């Protein structure tokens, strides 16, 4: 089984946020759509990072009083670990476990194909 098989069932929609939006904006989007991660895209819609529930919690501890003013770019994980549609599920599970991540953007070239969570694999 490959990531493309999961995305075929799960769907390809990925919720996004811009780097200049606030962490508070990101929290509202996370809550509204009941998701655990948002892909961060620049003005050209290129993936530049990911902001997860864990990133938000870290910011809450570090700068709780400022959360409404903290831009996403200061809280997001910049070094994206990604999958591609042809990755095998076992390989993907290993990558996610090894890197201690729960959300994995799936990229098809420069195009976002979807988002996989640890519960999907």
pTM of the entire predicted model: 0.72
End-to-end CA distance of the chain: 10
**What's the confidence (pLDDT) of residue 65?**
75
The pLDDT confidence band at residue 45, using thresholds 50, 70 and 90, is very high
The domain ranges of the chain are: 3-120
**What's the confidence (pLDDT) of residue 62?**
80
Inform me whether the pLDDT recorded for 63 exceeds 80: no
**CATH fold of the domain at 3-120:** CBS-domain (3.10.580)
The pLDDT > 90 percentage for the chain reads: 80
Residue 33, phi then psi, degrees to nearest 5:
-100, 0
**What's the confidence (pLDDT) of residue 29?**
97
Is the Cα dihedral 20, 22, 25, 29 positive or negative? Answer: positive
Q: What mean pLDDT comes out for the span 73-79?
A: 91
From the CB of residue 1, how many other CB atoms can be counted at a distance below 10 Å? 10
């Amino acid at each position: 089984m490959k990531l493309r098989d999961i995305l075929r069932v799960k769907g390809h929609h990925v919720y996004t946020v811009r780097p200049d939006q606030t962490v508070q904006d990101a929290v509202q989007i996370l809550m509204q759509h009941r998701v655990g991660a948002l892909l961060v895209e620049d003005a050209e819609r290129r993936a530049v990072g990911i902001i997860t529930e864990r990133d938000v919690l870290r910011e809450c501890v570090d700068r709780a009083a400022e959360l409404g003013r903290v831009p996403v770019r200061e809280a997001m994980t910049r070094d994206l670990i990604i999958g591609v549609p042809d990755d095998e599920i076992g390989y993907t599970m290993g990558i996610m476990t090894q890197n201690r991540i729960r959300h994995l953007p799936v990229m098809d070239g420069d195009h976002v194909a979807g988002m996989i969570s640890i519960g999907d694999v």
